[in-house]
Amino acid sequence: MRLFILVLSGYCFPVIVTLVLWGAISSSYADSHNFDELLARLSPYLKNGSALIVDPQGHELFANNPDQKMIPASILKIATADAVLTRLGEGYRIPTEFYLTSDNYLAVKGYGDPSLVSESLTNIALQLKPILKKLNNTELKGIIMDSSFFKPGQKINGQSSSNNPYDASIGALVVNYNTIYVHKSRQGTLSSAEPQTPLTPTVRKLARKIPYGKQRINLGNNEEQNLVYFAELLYYKLSEQGIVVSTPLSIMHKSVPEGSIKVYTHYSKPLSEIVQQLLYYSNNLTANQLLLILGAREYGIPADQSKGQKALRNFLSQTIGLKDFSLNEGSGLSRQNRFTARQFMKILQHFEPYHYLLRGYDEKFLAKTGTLNGIASFAGYMISPQNKTIPFVIMLKQPKRSHYRYKIAEMLYEYLF
């Protein structure tokens, strides 16, 4: 092992590098001149940051402030993904149940499936049509929404009340990630920006004040409003299949009444597919939905943040062996989350069997980014020319540009390979 202490521009820049020459790394790695040049190039980008790379055997190849606690931002989603895949299984599917009440209401009971979209409701309506016909049902009186699986009023630390999709609120029954996608003409005419999703009364109300053009906005933190939108969209999909629902549409928010008959259960796509989309699109709602589902599975219903946090903390401490970290939620929105690069490396080493679920960058990296104001992170796996996975983590505080994380990763990749 060689210890380098580099002082540039008044900053002490400690770097520990273990020289391990295995097949994936060229012999030029040990070139002292090249290493000094690398440090000089990295210094402007890695200031106030931490980074760590290890080889497949766990030997450190590059380390800068690996024990400094940092805000991970959205790379925390890798930890959440690891926990739910390990505990629930790659093939786990989240149910949504449909009941017919004694007074002829269709009751929907949700269990937090974050992957329900307009196309899902189209398929559900297709499945319900022959079932209701067989039961000699001629007209539904309305729709009951049962969200009791989640404790009401759940708000994620770091979530704001903005219209941005990443601030969408969680819930036991959500559709289209609790967002709407609309187009507003310069003349003020509204239309859906996706053909599979009709405009509902709730959408028209929310879209009145948006600027012209295509806009994706969240439905807000009003749980009742979110459930009404779900029921409206389901009503349109049922109508498309010739299933009659009395108008004006009656929507009730309560538990499934006793004596109701379960007529259909919709199951989500496999958990591995949900996680892959979560990591690709960095969906905060999906991450926290899955965390609450995990908490309910391990500590009982109703699902809430405290149970989800407890489940993830226990996974990180008992399964992965982490100590002295701070965790507030599962998506990376909160600035109260704190991990060191060395701790996060252990997460990456445990997650390695699922590395293929991460997004690819330039055929060199399978990784996840994280961005908050003044925070930029990048973590995952370098893919060597020999197709070996080399875990790395980069966490920066107050970088001048968020793309510095990519510059650092590229320079380290070029140096190693």
| Domains defined along the chain, listed by start | 95-268 (3.50.80.20)
Amino acid at 120: S
Q: What is the pLDDT of residue 37?
A: 85
Work out the percent of the chain whose per-residue pLDDT is above 70.
91
Q: Which token pair is 75?
A: 């790379």
CA 213 to CA 226: how far, in whole Å?
A: 23
CA distance 63 to 393: 10
Strand pairing of 251-253 and 142-146?
A: parallel
DSSP-assigned states of every residue in 351-374: HGGGGGGSEEETTTEEEEEEEETT
More confident of the two residues 31 and 152: 152
Q: What is the pLDDT of residue 155?
A: 83
- Residues 189-200 have a mean pLDDT of 92
pLDDT at 375: 97
Q: Residues 352, 357, 359, CA angle at the centre, nearest 5°?
A: 110
pLDDT band of 161, cuts 50, 70, 90: low
One-letter amino acid at 20 equals V
Residue 30: pLDDT band (50, 70, 90) is very low
Instruction: Provide the strand spans (E) within 211-346.
Output: 213-218, 251-253, 261-267
Q: Per-residue pLDDT for 321 more than 80?
A: yes
Q: For residue 158, name the pLDDT band (cuts at 50, 70, 90).
A: confident
State the angle between helix axes of 305-314 and 284-299 in degrees (0 to 180), rounded to the nearest 10. 80
Which of the two residues, 27 and 125, has the higher pLDDT score?
Answer: 125
Residues 6 or more apart whose CB falls under 8 angstroms from that of 33 comprise: none
* pLDDT reported for residue 76: 98
> According to the model, what pLDDT value does residue 18 have?
42
Other C-beta atoms within 10 Å of 132: how many? 23
pLDDT at 221: 83
Q: Which of 386, 264, 344 is nearest to 71 (CA)?
A: 344
Q: Model confidence at 209, in pLDDT bands (50, 70, 90)?
A: confident
Is the Cα dihedral 377, 383, 385, 390 positive or negative?
A: positive
pLDDT at residue 367, as a whole number? 98
Mean pLDDT of 400-406: 93
Q: How confident is the model at residue 1 (pLDDT cuts 50, 70, 90)?
A: very low
Report which of residues 15 and 149 the model is more confident about: 149
Using one digit for the tens of pLDDT, what is the confidence trace for 276-290? 999 999 999 999 999
Given a cut of 70, is residue 316 above it in pLDDT? yes
What's the pLDDT at 33? Answer: 53
Lowest model confidence (mean pLDDT) among 3-17, 43-57, 108-122, 255-269: 3-17
What's the pLDDT band for 168 if we cut at 50, 70, 90? confident
Question: How many distinct helices (H) and strands (E) make up the chain?
Answer: 10, 16
Task: Answer whether 149's CB lies under 8 Å from 172's CB.
Answer: yes
Q: What is the mean pLDDT of residues 294-310?
A: 97
Gap between the Cα atoms of 390 and 413, Å rounded: 10
| Distance, CA of 118 to CA of 203 (rounded, Å) | 14
Of the ranges 201-210, 334-343, 395-404, which one carries the lowest mean pLDDT score? 201-210
pLDDT at residue 28 greater than cutoff 60: no
Residue 62: pLDDT band (50, 70, 90) is: very high
Residue-level pLDDT at 106: 97
> What is the model's pLDDT at position 8?
34
Residue 203 has pLDDT above 80, yes or no: yes
The mean pLDDT value for 92-117 works out to 97
For residue 7, pLDDT over 60 is answered with: no
Confidence check: pLDDT of 372 > 60? yes
Strand order in the sheet with 365-372: 2-8, 11-17, 60-64, 49-54, 389-397, 375-383, 365-372, 359-361
Average model confidence (pLDDT) across the chain: 90
